């Protein structure tokens, strides 16, 4: 069974700092990769996705993620965070051969103004 690991459970940054949230998955085959964000009091929203092609994916609000197949990783990055980026971020993986979307445990990001 596939699994997803997000090693940083809590991250605290000051505004304008750079962000990188780690995501590693365990599945040897072809995968679809996702980052979802949950702002306080709101529902899960898709931030970006990778299906195929360019491994550097750009999403909404200045976020991007890089798929590194050899490292089984899909880390989320943003060069300069804002207070409004305070949220919980979830990495998710779907094996191409299956139907199930497997989520990581989430990373809670707090950005100090």
Partner 1 sequence: EAGVAQSPRYKIIEKRQSVAFWCNPISGHATLYWYQQILGQGPKLLIQFQNNGVVDDSQLPKDRFSAERLKGVDSTLKIQPAKLEDSAVYLCASSAHGLPQFFGPGTRLTVL
Give residues in contact with partner 1 (CB under 8 A). Answer: 4, 6, 32, 34, 36, 42-46, 49, 90, 92, 94, 99-106
CA–CA distance, 78 with 6 (Å, rounded to integer): 17
CB of 73 to partner 1, least distance (A): 17
Nearest to 32 by CA among 47, 49, 15: 49
| Nearest distance, CB of residue 53 and partner 1, angstroms | 16
Q: Cβ 52 to partner 1, closest distance in Å?
A: 13
**Residue number with CB closer to partner 1 (19 or 31):** 31
| C-alpha pair distances (Å), 54 with each of 14, 26, 64, 70 | 31, 21, 12, 15
């Amino acid at each position: 069974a596939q699994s997803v690991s997000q090693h940083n459970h809590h991250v605290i940054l000051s505004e304008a700092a750079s962000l990188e949230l780690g995501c590693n998955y365990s599945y040897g085959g072809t995968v679809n990769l996702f980052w979802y964000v949950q702002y306080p009091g709101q529902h899960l929203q898709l931030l970006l996705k990778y299906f195929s092609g360019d491994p550097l994916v750009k999403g909404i609000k200045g976020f991007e993620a890089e798929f590194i197949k050899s490292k089984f990783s899909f880390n989320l990055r943003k060069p300069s965070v804002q207070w409004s980026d305070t949220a919980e971020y979830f990495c998710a993986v779907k094996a191409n051969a299956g139907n199930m979307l497997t989520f990581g445990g989430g990373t809670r990001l707090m950005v100090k103004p």
